[in-house]
Amino acid sequence: MPEVVVLAIALSMDAFAVSLGLGAKHVSKTKFLALLAAVYFGVFQGVMPLVGYLGGRGVLGWVEGYAAWIAFGLLFVIGSKMIYEAFAESAEEDITQITHKVMLVLAIATSIDAMAAGFSLTLMAVDPFLSCAIIGLTTFLFSWVGVYVGAKSGVWLERKAALLGGITLILIGFKILIF
């Protein structure tokens, strides 16, 4: 179960980074924005790994001999993408008004990685539903806190969070490959 907690923290870093940016740019109505970000990001980050897990279970019989390599590859690509995004422009800088449509797009964008990472749950001896609940709750908390931290400190932490999350996902991929 410790690897699920580490995976949850790593996956939540994307949502945390976006929440920091949202909080830094939209300092009014912080309570509402924090709750909105936490609910959208938490729900999507909790559901998408389950979709990935179920899809992974469906194809596991065909790729069982290569499953560890596939999980490693997915986590390596996701982690590399997060590291790249740590040094790229932030999407939330262009957002002038927070609407449900904007939050839906951001939630989907930050949780696509979680769907791919859900495949790695097929290789762990964990309850997938509990794991997805932990991922969703962790992301909820990180997103909620992220908005408040962003409103107080700006975006200086945003890139560091994405970088840490990317490195952690790559390390989890190596762990799956080696063990």
Q: Give residue 45's domain range.
A: 2-178
How many domains does one find in the chain? Answer: 1
Q: Using an 8 Å Cβ cutoff, are 92 and 21 in contact?
A: yes
pTM above 0.85, yes or no: no
CA angle (103, 108, 109) in 5-degree steps: 95
The predicted-structure confidence for 84-96, as pLDDT tens digits, reads as follows 877 876 655 556 6
99-156 residue pLDDT tens? 888 888 888 888 888 888 888 888 788 898 999 999 999 999 999 999 999 888 876 6
Long-range contacts of 135-138 (CB under 8 A, 24+ apart): 135/4, 135/7, 135/8, 135/11, 135/12, 135/45, 135/46, 135/49, 136/42, 136/43, 136/45, 136/46, 136/47, 137/8, 137/42, 137/46, 138/5, 138/8, 138/9, 138/11, 138/12, 138/45
pLDDT of 43-75, one tens digit each?
Answer: 999 999 999 888 887 776 677 677 778 778 878
